[in-house]
A and B are shown apart, each in its own frame.
Chain A
Amino acid sequence: MKPHPKSSFRLHEFLAEKSIAAIAFVSFIFIILILIFIFRESLPLVLGKAIDDIGKVGLWRLLSLSWQPVSNSPQYGLAPLIVGSIKVTAVAVLFAFPVAIFAALYTSTFAPRFAKEIMKPAIEILAGIPSVVIGFFALTILASFFQKSLGLQYRLNAFTGGMALSLAVIPIIYTVAEDALNALPKSMREASFALGATKWETALFVLLPAATPGIFAAFLLGLGRAFGETMIVLMATGNAALLSGSLFDPVRTMSATIGAEMAEVVFGDAHYNVLFFIGVCLFVFSFTLNAVAEFIVRQRMMKRFRGTA
């Protein structure tokens, strides 16, 4: 909108506009500074300049198969941590995704008005529960429950952690998927009914496919949340850096490792650099996820599924 040609200069409008711009700019600068900081602190590792008790620490040391950073011969193998993160994330998303999608389908298609008005805010409130509360719940109640009902050897394991994590992931996938389903044009639903399709057929074969881009974005956002979540996994997964394939063994994830160890390291230590390098990995991962969600979903899938960009 162009200002009216006759309108005179107004000081308060000018000030308000500039101060809002300044605040927006400052928060942008903060993000950039944080990024630079994380990358800078991991730099000695990449350049092979970090030093610990047994010699130089470069990227090759991250290829070791065990994570024993506080040791007389420190080992900084990332493999157990990466496997741990993947296992927990997989459990969380594989459980949360169907639950959230069906919940979204229910509230957007089948639910009578009153049920919808109760369920939607209830699921969204789940997103507001502090993760430390979910973690504590998992540590004390979920862990004992799963150990008894499934006869598990370890109380705290990837499965328990993943299930707890899914409590944090469900509301995210649900909210985004619900919005995607609600954003579909009403005519689509009406056309399907007019052709004689039942509610079920409409939901599964018309609405769900049409909302695929939004649902895919919901999936990616849930994945990012699960991968980066720290407190829940720190409390509920047992934090043993094991390289194993079983979902019922304890695991140590990348984010939990940073959470547990960052406060302890001496600034500038090799261990400190390695922790920041893990931070860089997590950042690159979530950045890629967001970029994929943004570009591919918008550009490609929207076109294919709806014929519009």
Chain B
Amino acid sequence: MAANVVVIGAGPAGVRAAQALVEAGVRPVVIDEGRRDGGQIYRRQPDGFTRSYETLYGTEAGRAKALHRDFDALRTRIDYLPETLVWNIEPNAVHVASGTRHRKIAFDALIICSGATDRLMPVPGWHHAGAYSLGGAQVALKSQGCAIGARTVMMGAGPLLYLVAAQYVKAGATVSAVLDTSTLADRVRALPQLLAMPSTLKKGVALMNVLRRAGVPVHRGVTPVAIEGTAQEGVTSVRVKDANGATLHVPCDAVALGYHLRSETQLADLAGCEFRFDRALRQWLPATDQDGRSSVRGIYLAGDGVRVRGADAAERAGRLAALAALKDAGIAHVGAAADITRLRAQLHRFTRFAAGLRTAFPWPARFAAALPDETVVCRCEAITAGELRRVVNEMGAKEANRAKAFSRVGMGRCQGRFCAHAGAEVIAAEARIPLEAVGRLRGQAPVKPLPMALASQQSEKETTA
């Protein structure tokens, strides 16, 4: 079993990938940014916190417990590198940083399970202190037992909107309103596809009931107008138009935003994987075969990091990608053939359900064209929609990287992870071209900010000043 296999991510996909590799006698290196395993969804609380699985994960407690238990059982048979960032990829090697230590780790096969973050659409005032993403609001609760504010508003569209709101309510936080940009009609249209996973659909309905019992106002079909606030106080209120066009003003001290999720694809990009434009999702995603093989030999992609289908699907996709890697390396895995057939069939249902979610909670592309010029699009570099439109009109920058070069949108510390989708929509609307023609920002290392105190573990020689 000479194969060097590196798994990036210790969430549902990464853990299941590592498990399948270990079953075949391979000892993988598992690299994860988190302090503990579980990924975002099954994030384990820090030492010293004592909330129960039921409190932390609700209806998903059983799945979380199983994933944690199975990962714990793998610990002696893998090389686990927590709190470690893969910041660049070369052919057959990843470069990692752990604190200020740098290492290069060679691989024959690499399974990237990089997960997802919130997909965000700017709204005037979203740069004020107290504006978070829904995922960020959830992390604060899961990890530290904190709410993002005393009176919070959840705004956007997608399963996370209701999940986070319900989790806040259960934890005793005040949710002043849930402002949903999707409509009941969207959901009705999505129903046939959502019925692919009736139990998941039922869980969604249960979340709505939690909110109703708690008396949380839920408004559907809203159009965000502004997050109001000041530099000193931060967020003070949220203003939207309701479905009838009437202005709704909700005082609050924090707001969480999000329009479902976007795949974290930078590592696949740095690995040189081919991307394709997904018209329905209005985004570029790495191309894979049904088992997770990318366009680059030896690079496999699994979980929400390649296609958002949720945690249950990620567990299966992680296992499937590992089985594909084993098969390609000529390493036997007992029962793999039957396993692969079963996993493919199951993933088919998740894919159908994901398409339903997309219909039920549409990405509000039309908001981009309507953003007032003074709205900040790129929060890292504080670049407004007006400035982005100026480089489109006056400097002819109709391609994403050209517009970035001229305007700095996507040039800051997040490298476009949070603004690139909206930025591309602004460009497409202004230039009156299809979104696909805008292209996508080329990935550049490091994936996340890298300390300049970084020193290679292999050779420590350095002149001290």
Do A and B come together as binding partners?
no
